[in-house]
Chains A and B, each alone.
Chain A
């Protein structure tokens, strides 16, 4: 049983791929679900021309609609950040992969790090999607929902951050392994 078998990079690359794949699945679900809620804003019609008494009221309503659009895209931006977490871990792990002189221990560590980041990104994206959908629909009717929406989304995003931190801690274990193969 050798310490550095030739099939060890298989596990390393599996870690790289799973970090990117699963966090992107979570981010895609979050974007899609929040996007459904945002598309429902298309039915929000304040009937600008009919009810506007003056140009000032018209401009205020236009500004209100722009603010709603800008603020309802926050769940989508947070889903993008979940994908960025997976991207950072993939880049980090793939920087340490070598064709030879790569111990099986390092392969397993990289696989674990990639899986940790990937699956927590999946859960975080799921939470962001469902919360974003419901809160964006509620935000159109009641503007005070905005603060609680941002708070809940931050807590959902921190789940992905925990997975990234564990992946970083695991990956730091392979830093001092040079020369173990001989």
Chain B
């Protein structure tokens, strides 16, 4: 019994580190992706038209947000609504 608890604790530690890495990656990409999308699209795609470049940057920021929401729903392989029903059944 004590061994099982120790294994579960080790698993949860690894899972927490993975979560922290994911959160750091999302925070950095939320800061870096829109600005780099603005300047890159201004120079290479829209030929100096700043309005379209700003819209591209906004689209990139919202894309990062949607990716974060989808990642949070599929965190650990459980859909958000399914796990509380399981835990209620176990109790």
Residues in A with CB closer than 8 Å to B9 are 58
Query: Interface code B76-91, partner A: CB below 8 Å = 1, 0 otherwise?
Result: 1010110110110011
User: What's the count of A-B pairs with C-beta under 8 Å?
Assistant: 122
The answer to whether A62 and B8 touch across the interface, beta carbons within 8 angstroms, is yes
Asked whether, in the complex, the Cβ of B83 is within 8 Å of the Cβ of A88, the reply is no
A32 contacts across to B, CB distance below 8 A: none
Q: Count residues of chain A with CB under 8 A from any CB of chain B.
A: 43
Interface CB pairs A-B, < 8 A, 9: A55-B8, A57-B87, A63-B76, A66-B15, A70-B75, A74-B68, A91-B35, A92-B50, A168-B51
Q: Which residues of A contact B78 (CB under 8 A)?
A: 63-64, 67
Could you list which residues of chain B lie within 8 angstroms of chain A, going by C-beta atoms?
Answer: 4-5, 7-9, 11-12, 15-16, 19, 22-23, 26-27, 30-31, 34-35, 38, 50-51, 53-55, 57-58, 61-62, 65, 68-69, 71-73, 75-76, 78, 80-81, 83-84, 86-87, 90-91
Assembled-state Cα–Cα distance A146/B38 (Å): 32
A171 interfacial by beta-carbon distance below 8 Å: yes
Contact across chains for B61 and A81 when beta carbons are under 8 A apart? yes
Is A8 part of the contact surface with B, judged by Cβ < 8 Å? no
A54 on interface, CB distance cutoff 8 Å: yes
Minimum CB–CB distance for A152 against chain B, Å: 13
In the complex the two chains form, is A60's CB within 8 Å of B19's CB? no
Query: With a CB–CB cut-off of 8 A, which chain B residues contact A89?
Result: 54
Report which A residues bind B (CB closer than 8 A): 49, 51-55, 57-64, 66-67, 69-71, 73-74, 77-78, 80-81, 84-85, 87-89, 91-92, 95-96, 143-144, 146, 150, 161, 164, 168, 171-172
Known interface pairs A51-B91, A80-B31, A81-B30; 18 further A-B residue pairs with C-beta atoms within 8 A, sorted by A's residue number: A52-B8, A55-B7, A55-B8, A59-B8, A64-B84, A64-B87, A66-B19, A66-B76, A67-B72, A71-B75, A74-B69, A77-B26, A78-B65, A87-B35, A88-B34, A88-B38, A161-B58, A168-B55
User: With a CB–CB cut-off of 8 A, which chain B residues contact A87?
Assistant: 34-35
Tell me the bound Cα distance from A84 to B57 in angstroms: 9
